[in-house]
Structure 1
Amino acid sequence: MGKIACANVLSDMYAMGIADCDNMLMIIGIPFKMTDLERDVVLTQMMKGFRDEAKSGGTKITGGDTNFSEWCLVGGTATAVVKSEEVVLPYNAEVGDVLVLTKPLGTQNATFAYQWYQEGGEKWEKLSSVITSEEVQFAYFMAVQSMTRLNRTGARLMRHHKAHAATDITGFGLLGHANNLAKHQKKPVSFVINKLPIMCGMAAVERAINNRFMLLSGKGIETSGGLLIAMPAEESSQFCRSMKEIDGEEAWVIGHVVEGNRTASLDKDVEIIDVR
C-alpha cells in the first residue's frame, strides 16, 4: 500500500516531464479501531513501502504528519525545483500527434476479481465461467506490479521525444483524464482513442459483471496508472521501444489528435489489446 501511494503521489509530477523529485512529505492516517499491535505492524510496513518507493524515485522523505482517522491512510506531497524549459506544459497538443499510454488498464477489475476469488461465493462463481483462478492471480500480481512501477522512465523519455502534453491516469479513468487534458489545449483539437490495452482476462471479467466498472468504455478507475502522452507520430515508435528496453514493459500508441472541439472520445470500433 505504501509503495502504491508513493508511486501515485509522484505521478502528477512525472506527467509534467519532471523526473527528479527534491523531497517528499508523508501523511499517515491511523485508524481508531486498530489495536496497538496492528498499528505497529501495519503502519510500519506502510511507511517502509512509501520510503522504499521514494528511494527508487531518487528522493527521500523529509517530514510529514500523522493523525488518527476513521480509515487507514497513506499519502503525501512531492516537491521539485526545475527550470521552466524542463517542464512539459500540458496544453500544446497538435493535429497529427499520437496518444501513447505507458501502463495497461484494469487495476480495479484485477483487484476486485482477486478479492472475489479469495472469498468464493456467488461473485466468484459468476467469474469462474470466463476466467481461471490461475489467470485471476496472474492479473492481480500484474496489477500490483503496474501500480508500484514509477512513471519516472516515461517522464524522462517524453521530454526527449518532444511531448506536447501529458497527464497521468487515475481516478477519472482513461477517458475522463483524456477529456480533461483535451479541454485545456491551446489549439482546437480533439483526442480519438482507438485501442484499449487491458490486463489479461479483465475484459472478459468486465463483460461477465455487465460492465460494472465501465472499463470497456474507457471510464474504469485506475490506481497509479500510466502516463497518457500526446507526442509527434514520428517519435512514438522509439519512445515505446525505449520504454521496453529500460522498464521491460510495453507502451502503446492508443489514439491520435485531430481537429476538433477539445474533447476526447473512443472510436466506435475500439480495439481491445489483451496484455500479458
Structure 2
Amino acid sequence: MEVSDKREEAVRRILNGFSPQDYSLPEDFVLTKLTGMKGCGCKVPREILLELLKTFGSEVVVDNDAVGIGLDSCVVPLRHKGLNLVQTTDFFYPLVDDPYIMGRITCANVLSDLYAMGVVDCDNMLMLLGVAVDLNEKERDTIVSQFIQGFKDAADLAETQVRGGQTVRCPWLLLGGVATSVVSNEELIRVDRAEPGDVLVITKPIGGQAVVNSYEWLKKKDTKIEELGLEPAKIVRAFQQTCEQMARLNRNAARLLHKYKAHSSTDVTGFGILGHADNLARAQQNRVDFVIEKLPIIEYAEEVANKMISAGGEGFRLFKGTSAETSGGLLIALAPENVEGFIREIEELDGFPAWVVGKVVARDESSSEIPNKAYISEVFTTECVKSRIHQN
C-alpha cells in the first residue's frame, strides 16, 4: 500500500465504521469491553504522579543539554560529540473498537512525544502488546493482526520501522510502544526557552474524552443519551473527527517547530491541555506563566460537556482544561511574528487548522519561591470545531 493510500485508508475506515462481522467476529463484539478505562484516561492523576516522582530526588527537568523526568521524551547527550539519544515509551487501553484504527492511534501517540521535542525522524520503534486473557483464539488472532497492521501503517507514514517489542497475556488489552532516535543538536528543539510575549498555539482541538465516552453510551444504548437529550448523529460525527485526529501524526508540526523557531512545545495527552501546559511552564528557564485563554473544542463535545454539567456532573473537566486527550496536538510557544506563518502552513500540510489558545506572561518578581505555572484565565471562550473529515 502506497503512503497516500495509507492516509486514505484510515479516513475510509473511520467513516465506514467497524463491523465485527466483516472479520468473522460476533455481532456484539466490542474491543472496549476488554478494559475498564480508555486511552490516556488511564493515567495516574498528575498530582499523585508528581508526588511519587520525588523518589528520584530531583526537580530539574532540563539540565544543560539533557531532558529528564517530567517532559515528553528523555534527551540524553551521548559520548559521541554532538549526538543525543531521544527516547519515549507510552501505553494505554483501547478507546475505539476498530483494532486497525487503534493501532494507528497507538503508534501516533507514541511518536508524538518525539515530535514534541522537534525530532522529525524516528530511527526505531518497538511495539508493546498485552493480549487480554478473555479473548478466544479467533478474537485474539484477528485483533492482534489488525492492530499490528494499523501500528505498522502509521510507522510507515512516519518513515520508521518496528523492529521488535514485547507481547504478553494480561487481564485487560494493553497497547503501546517505544520510539527512539539518535539526533544531532540541530535536530532538537530546546523546549525551555519560552519568553514573555510568546503566543501559545495548539494543533488539534480538545474534547476527545467527552466524545469517546458519549459514543460509548450510544453503542451500549445507555440511558444517558435520552436523559441528557444528546443527538446520536452528532455524536457519530464528533467521534469520526476524534478518531481522525488521534490517528493523525504530529510530524508536520514537528518540522514547523524548526522553521518557525519555536521556543517551547509539548503534546497534549492524558493530563489535558492545562496539565501539560503546567508541566511545560515549570521547565522554563525564564520566570514565566502560561495563560490559557481559549479552548478550541471538537464539534459537539462542548454540548455534551455542558449538558453533563447541567445535570450535576463535571463535564469531564473539559472547561477546566484537565479533560484527558489521547494522541492530541502539540502545544507550542512561538514568537508573535511567527504565529501566522505557522498556522497557515500547518493547515496547508495537514488539511486541518491550528489555533491560538493563550500567551506567555512574565512572573511577578515577588513570587520567587513559587515555580512557574500554567492557568486558565477567568474569562475564556470556547469554540466548536467543525470537522473536515466529512468534506475531504
**Which TM-score applies when normalising by structure 2?**
0.69
Work out whether residues 195 and 254 of structure 1, in 8 Å CA contact, stay in contact via their aligned partners in 2: yes
Shift of 1:147: 0.4
The residue aligned with 2:359 is: 256
Aligned-pair identity in percent equals 45
Q: 1:267 aligned to 2:377? A: yes
- Give the Cα–Cα distance (whole angstroms) in 2 for the partners of residues 165 and 126 of structure 1: 43
The gaps in structure 1 that reach 5 residues or longer are none
The gaps in structure 2 that reach 5 residues or longer are 1-101, 364-370, 387-392
The residue aligned with 1:179 is: 278
The residue aligned with 2:108 is: 7
The residue aligned with 2:249 is: 150
The residue aligned with 1:213 is: 316
TM alignment of 1:158-169, pairs within 5 A = 158-169=257-268
Moved more, 83-92 or 241-250: 83-92
- Give the Cα–Cα distance (whole angstroms) in 2 for the partners of residues 201 and 25 of structure 1: 36
The residue aligned with 2:122 is: 21
Runs (4+) of structure 1 exceeding 3 A deviation are: none
Q: 1:47 aligned to 2:148? A: yes
- Give the Cα–Cα distance (whole angstroms) in 1 for the partners of residues 254 and 196 of structure 2: 22
- Give the Cα–Cα distance (whole angstroms) in 1 for the partners of residues 278 and 167 of structure 2: 35
The residue aligned with 1:233 is: 336
TM alignment of 1:199-210, pairs within 5 A = 199-210=298-309
- Give the Cα–Cα distance (whole angstroms) in 2 for the partners of residues 169 and 91 of structure 1: 17
Shift of 1:28: 1.1
Shift of 1:121: 3.5
CA RMSD of aligned residues (A): 1.0
Shift of 1:235: 0.3
- Give the Cα–Cα distance (whole angstroms) in 1 for the partners of residues 222 and 213 of structure 2: 14
Shift of 1:126: 2.5
Structure showing greater relative contact order (alpha-carbon pairs closer than 8 Å, 6 or more residues apart): 1
Structure 2 counterpart SS, 1:66: strand
Letter in 1 for 2:139: E
Max Rg structure: 2
The residue aligned with 2:161 is: 60
- Give the Cα–Cα distance (whole angstroms) in 1 for the partners of residues 383 and 209 of structure 2: 17
Shift of 1:150: 0.4
- Give the Cα–Cα distance (whole angstroms) in 2 for the partners of residues 58 and 135 of structure 1: 35
TM alignment of 1:56-205, pairs within 5 A = 56-127=157-228, 129=229, 131-205=230-304
Shift of 1:21: 0.6
Shift of 1:243: 0.8
1:16-64 per-residue CA deviation (whole Å, 9 max, x = no partner) reads 1111111101111111121111111111111111111000111111111
**Which TM-score applies when normalising by structure 1?**
0.97
Q: 1:242 aligned to 2:345? A: yes
Structure 1 counterpart SS, 2:118: coil
Structure 2 counterpart SS, 1:94: coil
The residue aligned with 2:38 is: none
- Give the Cα–Cα distance (whole angstroms) in 1 for the partners of residues 135 and 222 of structure 2: 28
Letter in 2 for 1:23: N
Letter in 2 for 1:246: L
Work out whether residues 215 and 236 of structure 2, in 8 Å CA contact, stay in contact via their aligned partners in 1: yes
Work out whether residues 98 and 233 of structure 1, in 8 Å CA contact, stay in contact via their aligned partners in 2: yes
The residue aligned with 2:83 is: none
1:246-276 per-residue CA deviation (whole Å, 9 max, x = no partner) reads 1000101110000025111111111101100
- Give the Cα–Cα distance (whole angstroms) in 2 for the partners of residues 214 and 167 of structure 1: 20
Work out whether residues 110 and 179 of structure 2, in 8 Å CA contact, stay in contact via their aligned partners in 1: yes
Shift of 1:209: 1.2
Shift of 1:81: 1.1
Work out whether residues 205 and 297 of structure 2, in 8 Å CA contact, stay in contact via their aligned partners in 1: yes
- Give the Cα–Cα distance (whole angstroms) in 1 for the partners of residues 137 and 327 of structure 2: 30
Structure 1 counterpart SS, 2:209: helix
Work out whether residues 126 and 208 of structure 1, in 8 Å CA contact, stay in contact via their aligned partners in 2: no
- Give the Cα–Cα distance (whole angstroms) in 1 for the partners of residues 123 and 362 of structure 2: 39
